[in-house]
Amino acid sequence: MRFDNKIAIVTGGGRNVGQAIARRFVAEGARVAVVDLDPGRGQSTVAELEKARSGSAHFLECDVSSSEAVQRMVAEVVDVFGGVDVLVNNVAITDRGSTVLDLEEDLWRRVMAITLDSVFLCSKYVGRQMVAQGRGGAIVNIGSTSGYRGRVNATAYSAAKGAVLNLSRSLASQLGPHGIRVNTVTPNKVGSPVGEDEEPADRKRANLLGRGAVPDDIANAVAFMASDEAGFVTAADLLVDGGSLYGGVD
């Protein structure tokens, strides 16, 4: 029960990795704001969590690329739960299949807005709330091995995830004096691909452990980084990629 009496926000909490993170927080005592743009997925996740423990979850429909929407979301979380102790910036979309030669500029801007701007906006307004509370907090941003290396089949996503890594380091430097830790957790090909509901049966993975990642692998890492057990860890990136990055495989 590492998160007993803690309040967490998880963006993209209606499916895949975000859903697994929300489940893990609730299992360890937290109350969780499940933030998603899809009300069907978000409400379904909250219904599951509420069945496990009444009063443990609340759904908020929010476009996290909009400053006004994020501010309303944070205000509602504070109104419902009384504050915020943990923020997980998980939501992302991709431009899979495009190169710089054919990527539509509107898609570039949309990927950057949802995958990168959302981290800035949520961290800004949740960070302000954490500072006002005066009890510190933890922010965990979900990275990607795509942020470490270029890809032949994605342009904006790789750029956005690379930026998330360095933005997180800046946030850690700025928020550290307020007792707020900021870290990243970096997966590789976990669960269903970004933006898809199902994982292809023939999805290719290559790593040092010989299996694909599952959402609980990431939830385990996020729970550690958000907990007091990682109380002296900030500005760090925890690779949860089966060694794919340093094994020289994709």
* Residue 127, in any domain of the structure: yes
CATH, residue 177: 3.40.50.720
pLDDT, position 191: 66
| pTM: predicted TM-score of the whole model, two decimal places | 0.94
* Residue 246, in any domain of the structure: no
148 is catalytic: no
* Residue 35, in any domain of the structure: yes
pLDDT, position 76: 98
pLDDT at 10 over 60: yes
Domain of residue 58, residue span = 7-240
* Residue 159, in any domain of the structure: yes
pLDDT at 195 over 70: no
For 79-96, the pLDDT digits (tens) are 999 999 999 999 999 999
For 206-227, the pLDDT digits (tens) are 899 988 899 999 999 999 999 9
Please tell me which residue in 125, 148, 157, 246 is annotated as part of the active site. Answer: 157
- Of 114, 131, 216, the closest CA to residue 178 belongs to 131
Quote the number of domains for the chain: 1
pLDDT at 242 over 90: yes
* Residue 187, in any domain of the structure: yes
* Residue 227, in any domain of the structure: yes
The SS3 call for residue 239 is strand
N- to C-terminal Cα distance for the chain? 36
pLDDT at 192 over 60: no
